[in-house]
Chains A and B, each alone.
Chain A
């Protein structure tokens, strides 16, 4: 893994999710993995290749060449519905901030990936399940607008359970807001590449995730519109093997390629360079 860039060191360290400080167990093959090894291997199980979920900061450290110029770093959500269920929505987001070390479920900024300057947005499932509310909509729009000003391609790494229920219709409208921003970027002739990681569902998959010029799925990711639980409850029949997996989507013509995490950075570099290649004047 690349050395930690300066911008990352400013953050609160990511608290360890599991109780064991040294070892983690792979959910696929049950192998015990030394944590330090796992980080070095980009959180891919050395035995079976299972891709662990990655936070925004680890993902940026893995993809960005050097510095990362973050946009909207201090944006936090309001509470437009004054939502309370078991606890209030502000309490839920406060808990998630403490747990994840993140202010929201997306980080956006300008950086270089394999020497190509891009606008990069990375979602984080550990904050409210990567759900899209006001801040995600705002930051994605900010990023795509900045890409337009600087004439940069955009890369969005998706990981989301969909629209955030606690922001109601205001969350749903972020699908419209981000779609408009994607449309403007495209009208400027600038490319959008999305990477669908585990999981990419709901309002995010039904907006910018599937609006890209090139759609890359990370190996093993679950990708779909409706969650398995909702489909189960609706149709009440057994779902086919590998349903909604990255490989399933490739087979059904929904994504351009399935890429292993270890190859993602070089793959993005190649795709971006190819998209930016200028036609030779006749």
Chain B
């Protein structure tokens, strides 16, 4: 059960009541404006209470909120989009959507990890967990971005690459490794948007880029909290503890220098005002593209190399090993 859905229940109930009162107020010519105002104030207060101080585990669930805008919601607001399918070898993986589009007057290539909104959609999208053929479809679009000299824009939203028999047989490791290698040398700007949940190598496979944007309430983690807990303590039920330790919020990652820009969300999360959030993200993408497009390809690659080269935390041990 999504803990945020539980948490926001009283708020949604209150908001429904306000809606009812407003309807009644309009239709019955009874003046309810003071009651409405009072309830609206209460709702605001409740919202601040609920969302003002979320624990990391609650933030994980907010990032997984089923009503949160998904990759295709952003793509729908592009000025044009043609979806391209398949890896040309095995099958089309619906957990990755990819294609050609236009952002304003800028032609772009787009790759997004796509979750579903309900059970049926999620089964079709495999809960946003790509198979190797999904990453191979993404690689096609990456190469196309370079070939036709257009920036690549990606949307990260996955708990991780799918861990299954077929995925292993068809080379999940190789698929992610080759995506990373392709992005590492791609001679065109790469803009990455972390819009929901960024889980592990399955997220990074479309996330090695020049400008990394993260929505305030999205998360990005070395492993999703559940597998992380199972790796660390052989107990997936300690996911809340893992979430607290992994430093996976946008604040953390901005502080680490891993994320370049954080986009603020309305109180309560992006799902409360999707249109505004989507517009803000696309505007940020556009600004980044305009800035990065001024660099020639060699400078762009040098900049990308240095950006990641300096991420790390290590020191020289002063005394010699023999002294230990």
Residues of A within 8 A of B (CB): 10-12, 73-81, 83-85, 97, 103, 134-135, 137-138, 141, 161-165, 167-177, 179-180, 182-184, 186-187, 202-203, 205-211, 223-227, 229-231, 233-235, 239-240, 243-244, 252-254
B14 at the interface (CB under 8 A from A): no
Q: How far is the CA of A83 from the CA of B208 in the complex (A)?
A: 25
B313 at the interface (CB under 8 A from A): yes
> Is the CB–CB distance between B308 and A235 below 8 Å?
no
> Is the CB–CB distance between B180 and A169 below 8 Å?
no
Q: How far is the CA of A156 from the CA of B233 in the complex (A)?
A: 29
> Is the CB–CB distance between A210 and B165 below 8 Å?
no
Report which of A10, A179, A231 forms a contact with B163, defined as CB distance below 8 A: A231
> Is the CB–CB distance between B177 and A205 below 8 Å?
yes
Counted as pairs of residues, one from A and one from B, with CB atoms less than 8 Å apart, the total is 214
Q: How far is the CA of A186 from the CA of B178 in the complex (A)?
A: 13
Number of interface residues of B (CB under 8 A): 65
> Is the CB–CB distance between B309 and A206 below 8 Å?
no
One of B23-31, B103-111, B224-232 at the interface: B224-232
B residues within 8 A CB of A172? 200-201, 204, 221-222
Q: How far is the CA of A176 from the CA of B220 in the complex (A)?
A: 15
Q: How far is the CA of A276 from the CA of B46 in the complex (A)?
A: 69
Residues of B within 8 A of A (CB): 161-165, 167-174, 176-178, 180-181, 183-185, 200-201, 204-205, 207-208, 220-223, 227-228, 230-234, 236, 241-242, 245-248, 252-253, 256, 258, 304-305, 308-309, 311-318, 320-322, 324
Known: A179-B208, A231-B165, A233-B230. A77 touches B314 (CB 8 A): yes
A residues within 8 A CB of B178? 210-211
> Is the CB–CB distance between B245 and A83 below 8 Å?
yes
> Is the CB–CB distance between B172 and A173 below 8 Å?
no
> Is the CB–CB distance between A179 and B177 below 8 Å?
yes
Q: In the complex, what residue of chain B is closest to A171 when comparing beta carbons?
A: B222
Q: How far is the CA of A225 from the CA of B183 in the complex (A)?
A: 20
A residues within 8 A CB of B304? 180
A residues within 8 A CB of B207? 176
Report which of A135, A167, A224 forms a contact with B168, defined as CB distance below 8 A: A224
> Is the CB–CB distance between A176 and B180 below 8 Å?
yes
| Distance from B272 Cβ to chain A, minimum over Cβ atoms (Å) | 27
> Is the CB–CB distance between A252 and B305 below 8 Å?
no
A residues within 8 A CB of B177? 179, 205-211
Known: A165-B231, A175-B204. A225 touches B167 (CB 8 A): yes
| Distance from B185 Cβ to chain A, minimum over Cβ atoms (Å) | 4
> Is the CB–CB distance between B170 and A252 below 8 Å?
yes
B residues within 8 A CB of A244? 168
Name 8 interchain pairs, CB-CB below 8 A, sorted by A.
A11-B321, A74-B320, A163-B222, A177-B312, A187-B185, A205-B173, A210-B178, A211-B178
> Is the CB–CB distance between B201 and A180 below 8 Å?
no
Among B167, B168, B227, B247, the one with the most A-chain Cβ atoms within 10 Å of its Cβ is B168
A residues within 8 A CB of B316? 74-76
| Distance from A189 Cβ to chain B, minimum over Cβ atoms (Å) | 13
Report which of B223, B241, B256 forms a contact with A170, defined as CB distance below 8 A: B256
Q: In the complex, what residue of chain A is closest to B255 when comparing beta carbons?
A: A80
Known: A165-B228, A171-B222, A179-B208. A76 touches B315 (CB 8 A): yes
Q: How far is the CA of A179 from the CA of B236 in the complex (A)?
A: 30
Q: How far is the CA of A170 from the CA of B222 in the complex (A)?
A: 8
> Is the CB–CB distance between A182 and B181 below 8 Å?
yes
> Is the CB–CB distance between B163 and A169 below 8 Å?
no
Report which of B172, B183, B256 forms a contact with A226, defined as CB distance below 8 A: B172
Q: In the complex, what residue of chain B is closest to A98 when comparing beta carbons?
A: B324
B residues within 8 A CB of A179? 177, 180-181, 183-184, 208
> Is the CB–CB distance between B314 and A78 below 8 Å?
yes
> Is the CB–CB distance between B181 and A183 below 8 Å?
yes
Q: How far is the CA of A132 from the CA of B233 in the complex (A)?
A: 18
Report which of B204, B222, B228, B313 forms a contact with A176, defined as CB distance below 8 A: B204
